[in-house]
Amino acid sequence: MKDKNLSAVLAFFGGAVGLHRFYLGQVGLGILYFFIPPLSLLLGVIDAISFLSMDQRTFDAKYNREEKTAAPTSRPGRKLTDRERRHEQRQQERSRREQMRSDQRATRRSRTGPQRTTAANTTSGQAERQAGLRYFKDFEYDRAIAAFDLALEKNPRDVASHFNIACSYSCEEKADKAFYHLDRAIALGFADFERIRTHDSLAFLRVQPAFLAFEENGYRLAPDLSAEEVVLENPIKEEALVELPEINDDLLEQLQRLATLREKGLLTEGEFATQKKRLLG
């Protein structure tokens, strides 16, 4: 541990031969001072003044860095207690664990490509679905429904969002919309029927009168037959066929709006069929 005051004394009285530089471990500078006596004498006085005006922290940062970073056991006359030794071992172990975690995170980022993954999550609605799950766990079903609805706008074929929004609607006791989204989930590949029969969030749906027929139909809604399909299912005289009105641009726009509302879950299949029949006269 180099002493600031001793360095100043050596610089003032032995600066001509670079004595203070040898003391500070700067052997190269000490040799240089030794070979330029007239200049080294002036430099020694300047160094002495510099050392005396320098605060201890700055002096330690420049000349005691090695001693500061060395292990405490290397300090002369200083022996660690058992408590200090255990503390030092814990600190070293903690540093190793942090370094290992940092290396593992860097490895995962290099393999998965965080930017590409983030972009994919954004376009697939995964972030909105995760937000919906958080709201659902906090019993904020209305906010969960809004989040799942946003996820379905980005990815209408997201099976998990359809199932989760069905559970949310069931908790809100909105059976028609719950049936609709559960039907969509099954149509898109959801096959965990046991979960439908036992999930707590679907308890309200299971006590509905329509659930038995829904279950017997493979957890699918019975299709609402249009006027043409009714005629095909029950053939009668050709002249009794329903004559459909001519579809103009306004009527087509209204039908498209109805289809959009149905896809978003704002209309059930039954409501959609009723409104469609009303528009078609």
Instruction: Give pLDDT tens digits along the chain (281 positions).
Output: 788 889 888 888 888 888 888 888 888 888 888 888 778 888 888 988 988 888 888 888 888 876 554 444 445 455 667 777 777 777 787 777 777 777 777 777 666 554 454 445 456 788 999 999 999 999 899 999 999 999 999 999 999 999 999 999 999 999 999 999 999 999 999 999 999 999 999 999 899 999 999 999 989 987 654 444 444 444 444 444 444 445 455 667 777 777 887 787 777 887 778 877 777 76
Check: CB of residue 184 under 8 Å from CB of residue 164. no
Q: Please name which of 170, 161, 172 lies closest in space to residue 133, comparing C-alpha atoms.
A: 161
Taking the C-alpha atoms of residue 164 and residue 151, their distance in angstroms, rounded to an integer, is 11
How does DSSP classify residue 11? H
Identify whether the C-beta of residue 268 lies closer than 8 Å to the C-beta of residue 177: yes
Give the DSSP H or E segment for 101.
Answer: helix 82-112
H or E element, residue 68: helix 65-69
- Domain residue ranges in the chain: 4-70, 82-120, 125-216, 238-280
Pick one of 3.40.50.2300, 1.25.40.10, 3.60.110.10, 2.60.15.10 as the CATH number of 125-216: 1.25.40.10
Q: Which has the closest alpha carbon to 201: 244, 238, 168? A: 168
The C-alpha atoms of residue 151 and residue 161 are separated, in whole angstroms, by 7
pTM above 0.75, yes or no: no
